[in-house]
Amino acid sequence: MFYIVSGTEREKVFAKVASITQAVQKKYPENGRFVLDDRTFTREAFENFLSGSVLFGAVQKYIVVCQHVLEDKEMADWIVGRAEDIANSQNLFIFSERTIMSEVIKALTGHAEKVFTYDEIVTDKKADRDALFKSFIFPLTDVLADRNRRGAWTLYERALRAGLSAEDIFWQLFRQVKNMCVALSSPDAKTAGMHPFVYSKARQGAVKYGKGRLVRLSSTLLGAYENNRTGKCELELGLELFLLSL
């Protein structure tokens, strides 16, 4: 059995995947849960889950969440070829995707238990840069200071869809982390060299993190930028991981 959950509204996609998983685990609490993404997915690993596993003489059932697997054409074509076997498997597979090629979704729909799509229509991609910063970046730096992980991730995804680059977002996040570091070690706005309002917000945020955590945040953020420069990890993904670690 398998479900497909896709779309640009990532929060809704994640919520639906979690809802399906929780419903199954509530009914069958012994079922294990595993995740395969576009970096860890292999045909061998998938085949092992497809055929099931025997542990101490008993058949073990699994919930297997496959993330961004169908976005790769080669992997998607292979999955399509195994669609009937996946549908008949004793294990549950959930494909969580951002986008899926039309021919792939068409080929899988008849085999899937259900297909869920959550796409957001973006109408402000041509808005000027200042308007985009006002709508997304400034609120994003505010929720970063509030240590609001979910709010930060949501605004980050919306900012990207609206047309802002990951590098634009990086520099604003870095400035906010730097401001919090300076504010935490300065007794007042004058000493910090900041406007009183900026200092007050940065100081409030800094207290929520603490010195050690701020140092680690700064290091993680700079690491994401360096990994992008050296080709180890795209900045867009690095920033997403950074925000999810708040």
Asked if 151 and 50 sit in the same domain, the reply is: no
Average pLDDT rounded to a whole number, residues 68-76: 90
Query: What is the radius of gyration, based on Cα positions, of the chain?
Result: 22
pLDDT score, position 56: 40
pLDDT score, position 55: 43
| Interval 194-212: pLDDT, tens | 999 999 999 999 999 999 9
Asked if 155 and 52 sit in the same domain, the reply is: no
pLDDT score, position 51: 78
CATH number at residue 140: 1.20.272.10
Q: Residue 110 falls within a domain, yes or no? A: yes
Q: Residue 27 falls within a domain, yes or no? A: yes
Average pLDDT rounded to a whole number, residues 15-31: 87
Number of domains in the chain: 2
DSSP string, 60-113: EPEEEEEES-TTSHHHHHHHHHTHHHHHH-SSEEEEEES---HHHHHHHHTTSS
CATH number at residue 72: 3.40.50.300
Average pLDDT rounded to a whole number, residues 47-64: 68
Q: Residue 158 — very low, low, confident or very high, per pLDDT cuts 50/70/90?
A: confident
pLDDT score, position 132: 79
β-strand partners of 67: 37, 96
Q: Name the domain boundary from 117, 140, 155.
A: 117
Asked if 56 and 12 sit in the same domain, the reply is: yes
Instruction: Report whether 60 contacts 21 (CB < 8 A).
Output: no
Secondary structure class of 88 (helix, strand, coil): helix
Average pLDDT rounded to a whole number, residues 110-138: 75
pLDDT score, position 5: 95
pLDDT score, position 62: 86
Q: Name the domain boundary from 95, 117, 139.
A: 117
pLDDT score, position 82: 94
Asked if 113 and 134 sit in the same domain, the reply is: no
Asked if 157 and 69 sit in the same domain, the reply is: no
Question: For residue 168, what are the domain limits?
Answer: 129-244
Q: Residue 72 — very low, low, confident or very high, per pLDDT cuts 50/70/90?
A: confident
Asked if 18 and 112 sit in the same domain, the reply is: yes
Q: Residue 122 falls within a domain, yes or no? A: no
